[in-house]
Structure formats: structure tokens, C-alpha cells
């Protein structure tokens, strides 16, 4: 590990210890037990779906695959990690990474699934509903105290320099995958082979991705969370959209790129360029004190200008926004908080924990906060040709250029997504 990352991680752990102590006392607790969670087997089977450690557990240990384990936090005391490590010849035994947090904790290797010792007035967080009833009954503690969880979520909204370094590294690894995906597309690969190229170049197996990679060719690029990989390449190649990430020490990258293929109308390639420019403009708008809702609205205004400039809308940009046309071309939010979870916590609450819901007109927006230094957000403007959304407009007098929409519909859509840290003076784009 580089000495920088080593020291940054030590600072990160010290930061958590400093932050947790007053939080626990403010909410009246002497200690906190955090459960890692565990994978549940498929019904009537012995196989499990991919698992991800509970975010507040990962905040300390940075491991995305710890199961059946507990972390006990007590002010002024070393964190106690009860790590499930059974004597099991079916699996490779649990082992800890060579990272400085290990020396800062007392680590107890547990051969059984234990109930941890609780200290004083304790709180428990994590998915404890999954625990056996016998374990649940022995634990006298308040479960999921909402105010405390809100405070811990708020803490996670603001990343330490260590966390930002991890997200930057996750981005570096993910971009290698994106470059391989683009090369596979140029080489006429189908969706599955583009996915395999991505996984190989970003050095990860599919069960470790932070979210299911979206690899959509042609019309599939317009399916926002497209969830399949066609085995065969299509005959004609209009477009590719790749929304794919990587974890590093638990922290996520969430990057999207879109490409025009050899069979795309010229107008589509021009729109891809315009959407890159729009993403760059919006990234430049990231700064402390900026309302993310206002930045989202700026995306709609500038998207409207693109619709007009490229002949998709024959009215004015103001009309396209006012009539809700841009919301049908881009039905998702500008972005979200990013961290240990791809859609990270606390985006829809005020700093005191009270709800800060998405505006009625923009229900899919996942971040309504004013930007502050330490936040990491995605900036991901999109432009799609989704028949289910656009078709109802055909019965109106709105001046949409349906001939051009129909020409572009085989291209599906475009999304360009970068990961951006808010700094004291502006922004730091973590996506190379």
C-alpha cells in the first residue's frame, strides 16, 4: 500500500472514532454493535446471491464481503471486531488485509456465529432481522435507533480524504474496463462479450461489481437499468451505452459512457458529443453552496437547448422545459451521492435527519442537498428515445420533430456519467 493511502486510512479511522463518540452520547448510548449482515440462501436451496457488507460496517473495515460478523464501537476504546472465521475445509479461511486499520482494532476470530458482548446501554444496527431468534432474544439493546442511524448516514455523506482516494482508485480501475468495452464495441462484439471485456480489463469478477453493469447495444441503450446481456452481436450497430463500475476497498465507481456505432445516423454522434459537453458544463457547476436541485434544473434547461439546437424540438428551450418535454427525454435525476453504496445514504434528508424529498416534478432525483466540501456525487445527464414516455406526446401539438425521433429510436439513448468530489473551492473530477 502506498504510504499516502496508509496514512490516509489511519486518519480516516481516527476521524470515525472522533465522530462516533459524541454521536453515541448525544443519542444516549454507551456502545454500538454493527452487524455485517450475511447472504440468505435461495429458497429451498443452498446457493446464495452476491452479498455486500452493511455500509456502516464497511465504513470502518472497507471489506465488501464480511458476513456473520460484528463490530463494537465504544467511545475512547479500541474497536472490537468479532470476525466470523469458521474452521471450514470447504472454503478458504477468512483472512485480514495488510492495512493499518487491522492494528487499530482488537480482532477476535470466531469459529461460530456469535452474539457479541454488549456494553452498557447499547444500540444495534444492521440487518438483525436475519439473525436466528435465539440470537435476537439474547441481545438487550435498542435496534436501529432512527436518529442515530440518520446521524451515521450524515457522517457518511462527507467523505474523508481516504475515502476520496479510494473512489478515485475505483474510477481508475473502472476506466480501464470502459476502454476495453469501447474497443470490444469497435470490434463488433455483442453485449456479453463487451461485458466480459469490461470485467477482464477492470480486474473483477461479476459477483464483485458494485451494481449490475448496464451494457446496452442499440435500443437497449434506452432501457435505463437494462439487465440482460445478449449472447450474439446484432447485425447493425447503432449505439452502445456502458454504465459500469468497480469497487476499491468497498468504495464504488459509477461511470457511464455512450458511443455511436458505424450504422448510427450522423445526428446521433453529434448528440453524443453534445451530451459529453453538457456533462462537462454540469461538472463545472459543482461547488460548495450549490443546490443539487438547481443543478438538476440547469441540466433540463441545457438539455432543452440541445433538443432545439439539434432539431429534435422545433419550439423554444424554455417551452421544452415548461411543457415537461425534457423530463420525457431524461426521466432520471442528475445524479446521487456516491460512496460505499452506489446510491449512497443521506441524499434525501436534511442535515438534522428530517426528510428532504425529491421535488414533485422530479421524483427520481436522489439527492436534494446543498453541496458541501467532502460530498462525492455523480453527474449523469441523459437523453433517451423511450417510446413508452414519448408516444403520449404524439397526440399533442407540441413541436417535437417526430421524423428525427423515429430515426434515432434505434440508438436507444445516451448517458454520460462522471464521479465528482466537492472541494473547498469547487470540484475535483475523480473520473479520469
Cβ distance to Mn ion smaller for residue 243 or 323: 243
Q: Which of 97, 100, 116, 118 is nearest to 108 (CA)?
A: 116
For residues 320-359, which are near ligand GLY according to CB under 6 A?
336, 342
Q: Which sign, positive or negative, has the C-alpha torsion 394, 400, 403, 406?
A: negative
CB neighbour burial string for 95-130, b if at least 16 within 10 angstroms, e if fewer: ebeebbbeebbebbebeebebbebbeebbbbbebee
Total residues contacting ligand GLY by CB under 6 A comes to 7
For residues 156-215, which are near ligand GLY according to CB under 6 A?
211
Cβ distance to Mn ion smaller for residue 12 or 247: 247
Task: Find the residue with minimal CB distance to ligand GLY.
Answer: 243
Phi-psi region of 429 (alpha: psi -120 to 50; beta: other; left: phi over 0): beta
**Site for Mn ion contains 243 (CB under 5 A):** yes
- Name all contacts of 223-229 with Cβ < 8 Å and 24+ positions apart: 223/412, 224/331, 224/332, 224/382, 224/384, 228/191, 229/190, 229/191, 229/192, 229/194, 229/195
User: 3-state class of 34 per DSSP?
Assistant: strand
CB of 419 to Mn ion, least distance (A): 8
Cβ distance to ligand GLY smaller for residue 83 or 221: 221
When CB distances are held under 5 to 8 angstroms depending on the partner's kind, the choice from ligand GLY, Mn ion, none that residue 12 binds is none
When CB distances are held under 5 to 8 angstroms depending on the partner's kind, the choice from Mn ion, ligand GLY, none that residue 211 binds is ligand GLY
Please answer whether residues 413 and 406 qualify as being in contact, where contact means their C-beta atoms are separated by less than 8 angstroms. Answer: no
Task: Please tell me the distance from the alpha carbon of residue 141 to that of residue 71, in angstroms, as a whole number.
Answer: 15
When CB distances are held under 5 to 8 angstroms depending on the partner's kind, the choice from Mn ion, ligand GLY, none that residue 344 binds is none
For residues 229-248, which are near ligand GLY according to CB under 6 A?
243
CB of 61 to ligand GLY, least distance (A): 24
- Type and span of the H or E element at 242: strand 239-248
Cβ distance to Mn ion smaller for residue 191 or 243: 243
For residues 337-396, which are near Mn ion according to CB under 5 A?
378
Q: Give every strand in the sheet of 106-110, ordered side by side.
A: 106-110, 80-84, 70-73, 31-35, 122-125, 142-143
Binding site residue list: 243, 254, 336, 380, 417
CB of 173 to Mn ion, least distance (A): 15
CB of 285 to ligand GLY, least distance (A): 18
Binding site residue list for Mn(2+): 243, 254, 336, 380, 417
What's the number of CA atoms in the CB half-sphere (13 Å) around residue 316?
A: 3
CB of 345 to ligand GLY, least distance (A): 14
CB of 212 to ligand GLY, least distance (A): 9
Cβ distance to ligand GLY smaller for residue 159 or 257: 257
Task: Please tell me the distance from the alpha carbon of residue 411 to that of residue 82, in angstroms, as a whole number.
Answer: 51
Q: Which residue ranges make up the site for ligand GLY (CB under 6 A)? A: 211, 243, 254, 336, 342, 380, 417
Q: Which residue ranges make up the site for Mn ion (CB under 5 A)? A: 243, 254, 256, 378, 417
Amino acid at each position: 500500500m502506498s504510504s499516502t493511502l496508509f496514512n490516509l486510512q489511519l486518519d480516516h479511522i481516527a476521524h470515525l472514532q472522533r465522530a462516533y463518540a459524541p454521536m453515541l452520547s448525544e443519542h444516549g448510548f454507551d456502545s454500538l454493535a454493527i452487524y455485517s449482515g450475511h447472504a440468505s440462501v435461495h429458497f429451498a436451496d443452498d446457493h446464495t446471491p452476491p452479498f455486500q457488507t452493511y455500509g456502516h460496517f464497511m465504513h470502518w473495515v472497507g471489506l465488501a464481503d464480511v458476513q456473520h460478523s460484528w463490530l463494537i464501537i465504544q467511545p475512547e476504546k479500541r474497536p472490537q471486531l468479532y470476525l466470523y472465521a469458521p474452521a471450514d475445509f470447504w472454503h478458504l479461511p477468512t483472512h485480514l488485509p495488510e492495512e493499518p486499520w487491522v492494528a487499530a482494532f482488537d480482532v477476535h476470530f470466531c469459529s461460530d456465529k456469535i452474539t457479541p458482548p454488549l456494553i452498557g446501554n447499547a444500540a444495534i444496527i444492521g440487518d438483525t432481522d436475519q439473525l436466528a431468534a435465539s440470537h435476537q432474544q439474547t441481545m438487550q439493546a435498542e435496534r436501529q435507533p432512527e436518529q442515530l442511524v440518520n446521524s451515521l448516514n450524515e457522517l457518511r455523506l462527507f467523505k474523508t480524504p481516504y475515502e476520496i482516494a479510494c473512489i478515485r482508485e475505483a474510477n481508475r480501475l473502472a476506466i480501464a474496463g470502459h476502454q476495453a468495452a469501447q474497443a470490444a464495441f469497435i470490434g463488433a462484439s455483442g453485449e456479453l462479450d463487451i461485458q466480459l471485456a469490461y470485467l477482464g480489463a477492470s480486474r473483477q469478477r461479476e459477483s464483485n461489481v458494485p451494481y449490475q453493469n448496464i451494457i446496452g447495444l442499440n435500443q437497449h441503450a434506452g432501457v435505463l437499468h437494462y439487465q440482460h446481456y445478449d449472447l450474439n452481436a446484432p447485425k447493425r450497430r447503432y449505439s452502445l451505452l456502458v454504465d459500469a463500475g468497480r469497487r476499491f476497498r468497498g468504495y464504488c465507481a459509477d461511470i457511464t459512457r455512450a458511443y455511436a456505432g458505424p450504422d448510427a445516423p450522423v445526428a446521433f454522434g453529434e448528440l453524443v458529443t453534445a451530451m459529453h459537453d453538457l456533462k462537462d458544463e454540469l461538472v463545472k457547476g459543482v461547488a460548495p453552496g450549490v443546490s443539487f436541485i438547481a443543478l438538476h434544473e440547469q441540466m433540463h434547461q441545457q438539455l432543452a437547448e440541445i433538443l432545439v439546437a439539434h432539431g429534435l424540438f422545433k419550439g423554444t428551450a424554455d417551452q421544452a422545459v415548461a411543457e415537461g418535454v425534457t423530463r420525457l427525454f431524461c426521466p432520471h435525476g442528475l445524479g446521487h451521492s456516491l460512496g460505499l453504496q452506489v446510491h449512497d445514504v443521506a441524499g434525501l434528508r436534511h442535515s438534522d435527519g428530517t426528510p428532504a424529498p425529491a421535488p414533485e416534478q422530479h421524483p427520481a432525483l436522489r439527492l436534494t442537498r446543498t453541496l458541501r466540501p467532502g460530498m462525492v456525487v455523480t453527474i449523469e445527464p441523459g437523453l433517451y428515445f423511450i417510446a413508452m414516455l414519448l408516444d403520449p406526446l404524439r397526440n399533442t401539438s407540441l413541436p417535437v420533430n417526430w421524423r428525427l425521433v423515429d430515426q434515432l429510436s434505434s440508438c436507444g439513448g445516451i448517458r454520460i456519467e462522471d464521479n465528482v468530489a466537492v472541494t473547498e473551492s469547487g470540484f475535483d473530477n475523480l473520473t479520469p
